[in-house]
Every structure is written in structure tokens, then in C-alpha cells.
Structure 1
Amino acid sequence: MRHWAFVGLLALAACAPESSPRTSAQGQVCPGVVAGGMTVRQGLDGNQPSRVQEDGREPVIIRFRRGDRTQASSVTASGASFTASTGAKVGAVYRNIPAVAARVTPEERLLLERSPMVESIEADQVWGALGLTPGLLAPLQRQVKAVTPMPEDEYTEGLRLVQAPDVWDADRDGVLDVGAPTGEGVRVCVIDSGLDMGHPEFQGAVAANHDFVDEDEDANDRGAQGQWGQGHGTHVAGIIAARVGHGGDTGPRGTPGGMVGVAPNASLLIARVLDLSGQTQMSVVLSAMEWCESQGARVVSLSLGGGNPTRSSVEAFRALKDHGLLVVAAAGNQGGPVLYPASDPSVLAVGAVDANERRASFSNVGMELALVAPGVDVLSTFPRGLGAYAEMSLDDTSPMSRSLLYSPTGDTAGRLVDCGLGDSLASCFEASCDGFVAYVRPGAVPVSEAMANVMMQGARAVVFGSDEAPAGGAVDILSLPRIGRWAPAVSVNQAASTMLRERLGADARLSLVPVDYTHVSGTSMAAPYVSGVAALLWSARPELTPQQVRDALEASAKDLGTGGRDPVFGHGLVRAKDALQRLP
């Protein structure tokens, strides 16, 4: 699973008194240009990576011994007192497992290891968001929406693919059917980066929230200084429960009503556990899980993970299942084995497919995989104004384009110049410090480095094509770091790339408008589709057990691979209407 966008690399600045560009063996550097910027990787304390503690203490999870009939909570209470008596800093005391989270010095750890009360001391692993990349344009352009809004315009491709409208809008009039399962009465807990609480799509949707990073009751996706986080949790939550007709700003061609979630009347519980860099610790997630249970959640949606199973984590997930909760987790985006906690036996692991029901190339595989759901080019909510609607024109044509995640907005124009791979300060053919629009083939260097290179040569906007990456090069995430000075940037599909290469030297114009939505790809997007469908099932039948819900989801899934369950698609594509029909 690749991290979303924090690939912060270089701070490049050229401030020369002369008006002409400086040249060297490395190429041209325009005077007065500032490009890129240093990104400080922030952790749970807002400054340091999550496992680095300023006081030198190590974060751990301490397990205590208990008898067969001893309640975990009573063992933990006495264990917490003992742990604190050693000088260790106790951060969390768990109810479902006989353990506490603490920060310890080497001396304190030695005292704890020698105690007969202590069963084991586990590493408090770093986990992270499982986002991948902004949605890339499909090989074929999408059909432009009709000028007159239709009742179903809020229904995204992914929503239709999982049959959600078939459950609550059978007549397709854009109005929720009376008496249909809509998620009403079901609480879904989203453990993620928090939420843009002011987004119109979530008005009346949030039943409770808690920030486990800043330890307060404001789980907005923001840091202590007010800066926005990654938007990961806002995107995930919209897939589950965006409200009908509550649209935010969708741009000049967007649908006024915005979008609809799979379970549009479900209640959201928002647990912020990811810091501004998209990291957290296992202990924080375990605390959030117990909070979800205390708030009456039926479904827990986890689009995060990392590390390995421990006795404490396995017991914690089993306890939620035993207590009536279904945990749904993203399988991961490396194309390799299903990652933890999706691979946990008590967790339902979800992989990703595209709109044509083909496996996403990044989606992890393995026999632990239970289901797949839409995870490619998924449209959903985003912190207000941080998404961008892009329009590009070149002479008399308007090739379809998509803004890079976190791209600056505004209008830019200039001559389209071939900048090759963007891998050096000499990459732009016919560069000019008067300004131009750079055409770059991604893959040789990280996007942030390519951006800085071409901006230093005079580019005022950048277009990334979709040519094949060079031999040995991996196409980087088409996203800009959240910190730094960047030019507006877009990506285009392969057909548009071919056309642009034939018109190098023509005048290009880019317009990027801030909106409240964005397209993103990843198994992080697939998991909340399954969470939403599970909420629909519980909305129809509140008495169901987690196992009954899971059985119905798996038995009704559309088989996409070899007959029966397979490691690529699991049981298949989740289908809401079919799942309801398979309920006992």
C-alpha cells in the first residue's frame, strides 16, 4: 500500500539578480523561481514520525496473564496500576483484551518483563492509510453529463455496480423508496483520518466522533494548527453514507446534488486515528475499535493497516465479532499478499475492481480475500475546495484531463512544450522563462521531482501523459505533496497523450476550479462499498449476526474469477440486492 501523497522531496529555488536564465551543463534555471518544498513528515505528536518519541520512550502493548474465567477488564485494571508504578506512561487501557498501551524506557521495560503479571510485551506497530493514487482517466473518455440534471445523476458508477440503487430506489426517480433498507438505524464506524464535518454531504449523518490523535471530541480531518489532512477519511465516508440531495460544490459540469453513498441514511461514527502524514499506531486503532463498540456500531470500516498480527490484535478483532460487529478492511495496494488487518480471520478483506469488473492491478490477492468492490477512479467526497475540476483546451480541441490530487487551482495558458521525462533541468525542449505548459511522460522520477525540474525551466503548468514508463521505472503516484509551491497540474489519458504529442508548440490553456469531490483509486475505496452494503443488510434485518451478514455477502457475490472462491476476487463482487435476497 502506497501512501497517498506525502512524497516530499526537494526544495529548489533559484533567485538570481539578472533577468536572463542561468545555464549550466545541467540545463536552464530561470531566475526567481521557487519550486517544490520540503515536507516535514509528521507523526501523532504533530512533528515526529509516529514511533519516534521525543522523550526516548518506546511505544509498546503490555499483555497480562489471566485465568480462564478472569475478565479481561479486571486483569487490565490491576495491570495498568502496576505498569504505572514502574514509571511507564500508560496511554490506553483496554476492555476487550488484558492489555495496556504504554511508552517505556529500557529500564521500565526490563522491570515489566520480569514481573509475573506480564505475559508479553508487543511492539506498538505503525499502521497507515491504504490510499493509492488519484483516479486516472480511463482509456475511453466518459460521456459528458446531460445539461439538464436527471434524478439519478447523483448515482456513481460504483454505486450502480454494487446494486445499491436497486435496493432503495427501484423506480429510479431519485427519491428513496418508502420502507426500503437505506442504512437507517445502523451505525458505521469509520476509523480513518477524520472527516470534513462541514461538508454538505454529511449534514445530519454523524452520530458521534472522537479524535484519537489530538484527544478531543472534534474529529475533523485537520491538524492542531488548522491545516487540512489528506482527505482520506472524507473520501471513505462519502462512499458509505453521503446524503441524497446534499451536494457540495461540484464545478461547472458537476451534478448539483453531488453524490449518494451506498447506505444514504446510515449514521456515521468518526474515529480520527491517522495523523497528517497518514500514520497511526496499532494501539490507537485498538482504542478506536473499543470506542466504536461503545457507541453502538454494527460495522467498522478500516481502510488502513500494516505490520503483522499479534496476540492482542487477533483477540481484539475476535472480540468485536463476538460482540456483534463486522469489521471490513482494505486488502492493500501493492499487488502482493493481503495485508494485515484485512488478513485477520475475524476481518472481512476487500480487494478492488474497475468499472468493467476487472481486477485492479494494484489490488492485493490471497485466499484471505473475501470480496471485491469498485476501487478504480472512484468519485467521492473530499474536504471542501481541496478537489479540483479540470478543463483543458488546445487550439480547437478539448482533451479530457484530470487534476492531480492537491494541485493548485486557477487559469493558466502557454505554449505546449515537450519536457520528456522531466528528469533533469535540461529536459524541456525549447523552454522559455517567459512561461509555457510542460508535457511530461511520468515514471522516470517522482512526480514532485519532475514538477520541480520543469518549473525551474519556466513551466507555469504541467500536463502528465500516460505513455509507458521507461524500462526499470515505476510510475509514481500522480499527486502533489501537500506542502510546497507547485504549478497547476493535470493528467490525460493515452488517447489525449497521442493527440498532444502531435500538437506540441500549440497554445494550451488549463482551468482548474476548486470543488468538494475527487476521484481516487485504491482498496481503501473498495472496503467502504462493502461496509455500506453490510449496513443495508442490517437495516433490513437488525437481528442478524455478523456471521450471517458475512455469509449473505459472500454467497450472493458475483463470481468473477475461476468457479468458486479464488485468491484474485475472493467470492466475487459485492451485490446489495442479491445479498438481501440471500438472507436467512
Structure 2
Amino acid sequence: MMRWGFVGVLALVACAPESSRQAWSQGQACPGVIAGEVTQHQGMDGNQPSREPDDGRTAAIIRFRKVSGTQASRVTAAGADLARDVGAKVSFVYRNIPAVAARVTPEERLALEQSELVESIEEDQAWSAQGLTPGLLPARVMAASQGVLPTGEYTEALRMVQAPEVWDADADGVLDVGAPTGEGVKVCVIDSGLDMRHPELQGAVVASHDFLEGDDDASDVGEEGQWGMGHGTHVAGIIAARMGQGGVTDPQSHPGGMVGVAPRAPLLIARVLDLQGQTQMSMVFSAMEWCESQGARIVSMSLGGGTPTRSSVEAFKAALDHGMLVVAAAGNQGGPVLYPASDPSVIAVGAVDVHERHAGFSCVGSDLDLVAPGVDVLSSFPRGLGAFSQMSVNDTQPMSRSLLFSPTGNTAGRLVDCGLGDSLDACRGATCDGFVAYVRPGAVPIDQAMSNVMRQGARSVIFSADDGPAGGEVNILSLPRRGQWAPAVSVNQATGTMLRQRMGSHAWVNLFPVDYTHSSGTSMSAPFVSGVAALLWSARPELTPLQIREAMRASARDLGIPGRDPVFGHGLVRAKDALQRLP
């Protein structure tokens, strides 16, 4: 597998001796510095379904009228022929709903609307991944976990949902004989694909399909070798990372890495998200039908957006009626639960932190079913693209956290206060010799602040949570996936206070590659519920999806006000307690 083309060492061209000592308080930039995002390659456009070609066509779901006494499949087949006859570019023909997905011109749409066979034409909505992305308000996490993988394979989040109590009741680090582990329960992950060679997931994947490129290689990688989001690899690891199959970790961590909620569940991987984390509703419908054809009992979808349509409601009801339990992320906008999580046939999952507190980004409302860990969740990531951070300032070695998608590297220099990083004169007293920038985020987007301080000569950047509470919390920050960036870390408020007292001191920042990362979002919460459902079904395979859903709801740890509420739903999903509530 190829690494991201954008991850590399910061290119700093040495300044001439007479200018290298110049202070850039006048808003000037060091010559020769390359900083910021790069223009995407043209060849990537075909791998992004959310970017419609400029061909005068729009994406649509074309529904056909059901004729009494006629099989739905025949109605759909006749409708597909009609759509092709008028010139529409048909991409998917469905079994569970009387519809096809197609791209149509205005003239073709009019011709279809005038046909007695066509019931309606719906918008083919754009849906997206529900992990936190640059530009969203940062979540906050406790500094105790900053930059450090667990000392064993059992993460705090895993323990929160009681998974080890189900399959390692004696806590000896070995799967108990005969315990429910998810074995035999296929979980279909509809996401961005997977690093198929990640050690944590070897032996887990039993089938895969790439709905973007129409083949069976569902790797999270584009046409020119650029890695995508890593989103699907992170989600899949939460569900089913194998016991004792660790990738590269930091020196302080367990060599086994981490383990998933259902460590023997077989995975089906359906790639629908493009390199930007976008997809079309039509592609998700097709992926769900593929999951069903492969024998999936659970569908895990950490994506959403748009609104319900007749076709979408029918598609999710058909999945439930056919024995599949669909679990979806509630969304990260803080408002009402997004679709399709809000669909009555789908389990909507919100996010809490390790202290069982509501994550501020997590969507809420009456449609919320359950909550699960979704803040600073550790899981697998495309090999070598995670980063573990170490830093020191004079005689201190404070904890730090690498920014998501930060390049790795070993840098050192004088610690310079760059304030808000909001201008080219933010770093007072900086020189083009190179330095370590200290920035308080929030005034401008993280990528803009990075570009500003890099152009003033910064070799690496430390972001501080100066506006946070007095406790040990740190901002979760992320860089754009493509561009020229310096190694970057974040620290908590206490460390920031200490660093401000040591300006001008020698600072050292070292980021080195690992096969894991911490991430936040309801994208991380949904797979915990999917994994718990797999454990329940492996214990009682004869149960229906509704019985599995009810057991998780009835056994959830009640949080917030007593009973079901719009912030926590029924509460925190708990595997052991749910097993005890099975009929």
C-alpha cells in the first residue's frame, strides 16, 4: 500500500545569511517556504461520486409504480429498460425497492416523468462520514491518554461497553472458551474501505466490494495511490480488531495494539465513501443489498446526511424485515439526529466521552437510541499513517498529542510565541533559521494558522488549549489530508501555561509513525453498538433484529435524566448487561 502523497517533511529552503536573522514582524514570509494545501490531481475526480461531472446530468432515484400481481423485480427491470431507452445513465438497479439510480438530463427526466410506469423521481442525496473534520469545533479529551496507546489491548472505551467482561471474564487476556465473540455473525461495514493488510484485521474480512470503482478491492485508496480518510479502517478496528494481532505501536504500548468489541466477528467491507468522505444515497442502497446477499446480520454505517425519502424508508425497512440490523452514526452537528440514523428502522448512536459525559458535537433528539464512546477513541489506522508524539522543553517532557494527519519528523528549535497564528506577523521575534511555534488555536482555521507560522519559519507547531478549563484537557485537532505541513501537536492548558513561561527555550518535537490513531465523532460510536450486537447474536443466533435492539435498549446504562432522554437516548450500550436481558 502506498502512503499519502502529501505526507512529507516540511520543505524549508535555507535563507541567505543576511536575511536568515531577519525578524518578520512586518508581515513578510521567509523565501522558499512551501506551506499549506496542494492542488488535487485531476485523476482523483473519477473516484469522487459526490462531484458530479459537468455533463448536464443530475443524479436521481427513479421509482416505478407497483403493478398488482407483478413481482417487484419485474417492475424494476421494466423500469430500468425504460430509463435506458430514454437515454438515462443507469448505475444501480435495486431488488428491495422498485427503483433504479441514474444520471439524467432535464429532457430525459421530463420524458420519464411523463411515463405511466414512473411513480416519482427523487434527488440522489449526498451523504458523508461522521468523524470530526477540520473546521468543526474541537472536542476535548483528558490529557491522561494523550499520545499514548494503552498498556494492554483493552482500551478505556472497550471497557466502557463491557466487551471484555463478555469474552474474558477471568481477565487473563485470553478469549474464554465458548464465550460470545461475534464468531459467525457477519458485520457489514459501509464506509471508506479498509487497509486490507493491517495486522489487526488479518483474517477478519470475508468479502469486500468497492462501489466507487466496481471491483472487489475495497482498499481505502484512490486511483493514483493516495490514501483516503482511513475512516473505514478505524471503524472496522473498533468492531473486530483481532486479539494479539498488533501493528506498529509506540514504545510504551502493548505490542498487541488493541482489540475490537467482537474480536472474532467476520467483516464484510463495502466501500462507498470517496477520498473526501462523501458518497451518494444510491450507492448506500446498493451496498446494503450487497451486504444482504453476503449474509450480513448487522450493517454499520458511520455516515449520514440529507432527508428521508419514500425509497430510503422502504430500503431500510426492507433491510430490517430481511433480518439485518442497521446501526448508524447520529451526526456531529449538535442538532437533531441526522438521516439515516433518524430512520425508524435504524439504530441511532450518539457519542459520550470516557467520563460518560455528552460529547458537545453529538446530535440529539427523540430519534436517538443509544450512546457509545465517541471522543478520543483509539483504533486501527492505515499502516504508518498514525503518529505518536514526544516533546521536551529544557528539562521537562510534557505529554502531547499529534494532530490527525500530521506528518512525522524530528524537529528542534527555539520556542517562539506565535499568538493566535492569525497573520504573517504573529510570531514576534521569529527568524528564518527555524523555530518551534506555540499557537493558541481558534482565531483562524488550523490549516491557516499552520500556513501562517510555517511561512515565518516554523519547523514544528505546538497548539495549546489555553481557552479550556483548568483541568487536563486538550483540543482534538486535525490537518487537511493533503498539503505541505510541519509536524504538529496539541497540549493541554496546564502544559500551555508552563510553555509560556519558557519562551525562548530549546524545544524538541518528535513524531514517528504508528498503525493507530485516536479519533472523535459519532462515526466512532456506531461501531461499538454494531460490535455489541454481534456479541449478542453470537450468543443467541436465533433472535430477531428487533429482539437484539430491545435487549441493548433495555440494558443500557441510564445517563442524564431518568429514562430515555434526547441527549443520551436509552443510555450507554453495555454488552454484558445486554446478554443478561436476552429473552
Residues 24, 425 of structure 2: 8 Å contact kept: no
Deviation at 1:254, TM superposition (A): 2.0
Counterpart-to-counterpart distance in 2, 1:309 and 1:143:
39
**Structure 2 counterpart of 1:360, one-letter code:** A
SS in 1 for 2:207: strand
Equivalent in the alignment of 2:7: none
Equivalent in the alignment of 1:46: 46
**Structure 1 counterpart of 2:531, one-letter code:** G
Equivalent in the alignment of 2:502: 503
SS in 1 for 2:111: helix
Counterpart-to-counterpart distance in 1, 2:407 and 2:549:
43
SS in 2 for 1:46: helix
**Structure 2 counterpart of 1:362, one-letter code:** F
Deviation at 1:562, TM superposition (A): 1.1
Name the CA shift for 1:253/1:324 in 2 (closer, same or farther; >3 Å). Answer: same
Equivalent in the alignment of 2:88: 88
Deviation at 1:477, TM superposition (A): 7.0
Equivalent in the alignment of 1:125: 125
Name the CA shift for 1:465/1:202 in 2 (closer, same or farther; >3 Å). Answer: same
Deviation at 1:68, TM superposition (A): 5.0
Equivalent in the alignment of 2:100: 100
**Structure 2 counterpart of 1:428, one-letter code:** C
* Farther-moved stretch of structure 1 (25-34 vs 444-453): 25-34
Superposed, 1:16-415 pairs within 5 Å as 20=19, 27-40=27-40, 45-46=45-46, 50-132=50-132, 138-142=141-145, 153-415=152-414
Counterpart-to-counterpart distance in 1, 2:529 and 2:185:
14
**Structure 2 counterpart of 1:561, one-letter code:** G
Name the CA shift for 1:230/1:260 in 2 (closer, same or farther; >3 Å). Answer: same
Matched, 1:543 2:542: yes
Name the CA shift for 1:85/1:142 in 2 (closer, same or farther; >3 Å). Answer: closer
Residues 211, 217 of structure 1: 8 Å contact kept: yes
Residues 560, 567 of structure 2: 8 Å contact kept: yes
Equivalent in the alignment of 2:415: 416
Deviation at 1:33, TM superposition (A): 0.9
**Structure 2 counterpart of 1:439, one-letter code:** Y
Counterpart-to-counterpart distance in 2, 1:476 and 1:446:
13
Superposed, 1:559-578 pairs within 5 Å as 559-578=558-577
Counterpart-to-counterpart distance in 2, 1:156 and 1:235:
14
Deviation at 1:251, TM superposition (A): 1.8
Residues 64, 119 of structure 2: 8 Å contact kept: yes
Deviation at 1:405, TM superposition (A): 0.9
Name the CA shift for 1:178/1:340 in 2 (closer, same or farther; >3 Å). Answer: same
**Structure 2 counterpart of 1:98, one-letter code:** P
**Structure 2 counterpart of 1:320, one-letter code:** A
SS in 2 for 1:101: strand
SS in 2 for 1:349: strand
Counterpart-to-counterpart distance in 1, 2:142 and 2:448:
26
Q: Given the two structures, how large is their TM-score scaled by the length of structure 1?
A: 0.93
**Structure 1 counterpart of 2:458, one-letter code:** A
Name the CA shift for 1:62/1:16 in 2 (closer, same or farther; >3 Å). Answer: farther
Counterpart-to-counterpart distance in 1, 2:287 and 2:182:
22
Q: Given the two structures, how large is their TM-score scaled by the length of structure 2?
A: 0.93
* Farther-moved stretch of structure 1 (490-499 vs 204-213): 490-499
Superposed, 1:522-533 pairs within 5 Å as 522-533=521-532
Residues 139, 495 of structure 1: 8 Å contact kept: no
SS in 2 for 1:514: strand
Counterpart-to-counterpart distance in 2, 1:480 and 1:143:
17
| Structure 1 alignment gaps of length 5 or more | 6-11, 470-474
Residues 392, 511 of structure 1: 8 Å contact kept: yes
**Structure 2 counterpart of 1:215, one-letter code:** G
Equivalent in the alignment of 1:9: none
Matched, 1:464 2:467: no
**Structure 2 counterpart of 1:65, one-letter code:** R
**Structure 1 counterpart of 2:576, one-letter code:** K
Counterpart-to-counterpart distance in 2, 1:96 and 1:39:
41
Equivalent in the alignment of 2:483: 484
Residues 19, 31 of structure 1: 8 Å contact kept: no
Equivalent in the alignment of 1:8: none
Residues 195, 221 of structure 1: 8 Å contact kept: yes
Residues 42, 48 of structure 1: 8 Å contact kept: no
Name the CA shift for 1:506/1:49 in 2 (closer, same or farther; >3 Å). Answer: farther
Residues 334, 363 of structure 1: 8 Å contact kept: yes
Counterpart-to-counterpart distance in 1, 2:458 and 2:31:
13
SS in 2 for 1:131: coil
Deviation at 1:16, TM superposition (A): 8.5
SS in 2 for 1:82: helix
Deviation at 1:243, TM superposition (A): 0.1
Name the CA shift for 1:144/1:486 in 2 (closer, same or farther; >3 Å). Answer: closer
Deviation at 1:72, TM superposition (A): 2.2
Equivalent in the alignment of 2:471: none
Cα deviation digits, residues 344-366 of structure 1 (max 9, x gap): 01000000000011111111100
Counterpart-to-counterpart distance in 2, 1:47 and 1:296:
28
Residues 447, 476 of structure 1: 8 Å contact kept: no
Counterpart-to-counterpart distance in 2, 1:229 and 1:427:
33
Cα deviation digits, residues 480-508 of structure 1 (max 9, x gap): 11211110000111221111112111111
Residues 42, 50 of structure 1: 8 Å contact kept: no
Deviation at 1:137, TM superposition (A): 6.7
| Structure 2 alignment gaps of length 5 or more | 5-10, 469-473
Counterpart-to-counterpart distance in 1, 2:30 and 2:414:
17
SS in 2 for 1:225: coil
Name the CA shift for 1:406/1:368 in 2 (closer, same or farther; >3 Å). Answer: same
Deviation at 1:13, TM superposition (A): 10
Residues 141, 375 of structure 2: 8 Å contact kept: no
SS in 1 for 2:509: strand
